[in-house]
Amino acid sequence: MSKKLIVIIAIVLVLVVVAGAGWTYHEQPRFCADMCHIMGPYLESWNGSDYGAAAHAAEGVDCLGCHVPTIQEQVNELVVYVKGDYTIPLEELEVSDEFCYDCHLLDEHENKEQVVQRTEELERNPHDSHLIGEMACRTCHKMHKPSEDQCAVCHDDVATGAGWTTEVTRTAEIQVWDPAMDCTACKSMVAYVDSLEDANLMGNAHAEEGLVCLDCHEQEATKQVHEAAVPGRVKARKVNNEFCFDCHLDNQHTSYEEVIERTKDYTVDEEQVNPHAPHEGLEAVAELQCSDCHQMHEESPLINYCYSCHHLGALASCSTCHE
């Protein structure tokens, strides 16, 4: 039997069922699952689950309360099913916020402003986002699978309990970065901001001199980083020596040669060692960047960087121990 004939027979059967039994059976949630086995999990989530579908079922909202296809649309769906021209999971129904508000009038969900007010007592109001643009209700609130805590992309969990996940499948579009934004709004940046108050770190030394984040992280570069940002991952900033020299003029750090001169009398364990001066067999030292030894937001290796080659804590020449 050809696939085309199967489709025709299936459509005729549906029309016979609908015409013979009226709309009573058609309007029951089990109708779709009876006709298409792939609808079974969706019916189960409506019958009883931690998902939004079950919450709607408890309020007497059935499938057709949200899914209101025409006869032609249902026939088209049946054709797709018979042909096997579909993917699992099925594509989510996309509805506007107004579609949701039409039913949620009694819950004072007539518009976004009312939703924001309903959750304003929370420590962090998930509906009054400071970084995310206009997000549709369906971005976070799912029906037949766990709802997604989009806030958790940057913050600690906001939505907790059954029926929610922090493993989001779609990250909301972040607006263009604004320098007025608080960096700590993103949980991955908290440690960097805190480091500016740690007296053991160089970030604090810069902060004590009155420098702020945008003095080292230029606004245009920061904007570009945010446009291509990957949630949860912060890539270390790489700067060249000239970048540092531009600020350290008062310290006579206008060139690498000046830095070498400034540390010519440096001693370690009563031995005179200039950590900035290249030495025989390792001329590449002159190509090192300030940031290799001097870190801002974590402990700086400083002279310990030398110990990556001068092991055992000996800064003498290699020939002292090795032939």
Cβ burial 208-222 (10 Å sphere, 16+ → b, else e): eeeeebeebeeeeeb
pLDDT tens per residue, range 208-244: 999 988 888 888 777 777 776 665 567 778 888 889 9
**Would you say residue 50 lies in a domain?**
yes
127-130 long-range contacts, CB within 8 A, separation 24+: 130/181, 130/185
pLDDT at residue 13, as a whole number: 60
Higher pLDDT, 76 or 230: 76
Looking at mean pLDDT, say which of 50-59, 123-132, 229-238, 275-284 comes out highest.
50-59
Q: Are residues 78 and 8 in the same domain?
A: yes
Query: Given pLDDT bands bounded at 50, 70 and 90, which one contains residue 45?
Result: very high
Q: Are residues 79 and 112 in the same domain?
A: no
pLDDT at residue 81, as a whole number: 82
Whole-angstrom distance, CA of residue 254 vs CA of residue 104:
65
Q: Are residues 68 and 136 in the same domain?
A: no
Other beta carbons within 10 Å of 57: 19
Whole-angstrom distance, CA of residue 91 vs CA of residue 121:
35
Q: Are residues 13 and 68 in the same domain?
A: yes
pLDDT tens per residue, range 164-194: 998 887 655 556 567 777 777 677 788 888 9
**Would you say residue 235 lies in a domain?**
no
pLDDT at residue 219, as a whole number: 80
Whole-angstrom distance, CA of residue 15 vs CA of residue 296:
72
Which two tokens mark 97? 């916020």
**Would you say residue 279 lies in a domain?**
yes
pLDDT at residue 197, as a whole number: 92
**Would you say residue 236 lies in a domain?**
no
Higher pLDDT, 82 or 7: 82
- Using the predicted structure, report yes or no on whether residue 269 has a pLDDT greater than 70: yes
**Would you say residue 120 lies in a domain?**
yes
pLDDT tens per residue, range 243-261: 999 888 888 788 888 888 8
Q: Are residues 49 and 113 in the same domain?
A: no
Query: Given pLDDT bands bounded at 50, 70 and 90, which one contains residue 101?
Result: very high
pLDDT at residue 4, as a whole number: 57
Q: Are residues 201 and 247 in the same domain?
A: no
**Would you say residue 234 lies in a domain?**
no
Whole-angstrom distance, CA of residue 63 vs CA of residue 216:
55
Q: What are residue 154's DSSP bridge partners?
A: none
- Using the predicted structure, report yes or no on whether residue 136 has a pLDDT greater than 80: yes
The total domain count for the chain is 4
Q: Are residues 222 and 250 in the same domain?
A: no
Whole-angstrom distance, CA of residue 29 vs CA of residue 143:
14
Residue 103's nearest CA partner among 128, 150, 145, 68 is: 68
Please indicate, yes or no, whether the overall pTM of this predicted structure exceeds 0.75: no
Residue 166's nearest CA partner among 185, 145, 150 is: 150
Residue pair 244/223 in contact by the 8 Å Cβ criterion: no
**Would you say residue 92 lies in a domain?**
no
**Would you say residue 159 lies in a domain?**
yes
Whole-angstrom distance, CA of residue 111 vs CA of residue 141:
16
Q: Are residues 154 and 196 in the same domain?
A: no
Whole-angstrom distance, CA of residue 148 vs CA of residue 140:
5
* DSSP secondary structure string for all residues of 159-194: S-STTEES--SSPPPBPPP-TTS-GGGSGGGHHHHH
pLDDT at residue 3, as a whole number: 58
> Alpha carbon of 91 to those of 27, 188, 275: distances in Å?
22, 32, 61
Give 277's DSSP letter.
S
Residue pair 147/165 in contact by the 8 Å Cβ criterion: yes
- Which range marks the domain in which residue 130 is found? 97-165
